[in-house]
Structure 1
Amino acid sequence: MCIKKYTEEELNKLKDKTDYETVGNLTEEEIEEGSKNDPDSLTPTDVNLKKFKKVRK
């Protein structure tokens, strides 16, 4: 894995390749399934979620 650093100026020049229509049409189930199948994802389990504590803003 290689980490590349960008300046803010460089980031602003990058072309956005996101297909927002496709992303917007994903169902919650598809998003969850994709997350579960992604080895880099840190999707919390139901047990993890029960341990979460609500914080006040």
Structure 2
Amino acid sequence: MTCERCQGLMVEEWRPDFSPESYIWRCINCGAITDPLIEHNRLLSQRMVKQPTLSAA
């Protein structure tokens, strides 16, 4: 797995302070952390269509 931030190598870690029942992915280059909840939220935000905002002129 490659890091979305720096394209570095992601390693699987068990970190009970983040999630006691699952593993996380940590980039060994930049330290970015991804877990199942982060991935789920990332997928949801990509699927959502943002409404255009109105600007006051």
Is the TM-score greater than 0.5? Answer: no
Q: TM-score range by the shorter chain?
A: under 0.3
Would you tell me which structure has more helix in proportion to its own residues? 1
Higher strand share: 2
Scaled by the length of structure 2, the TM-score of the pair is: 0.18
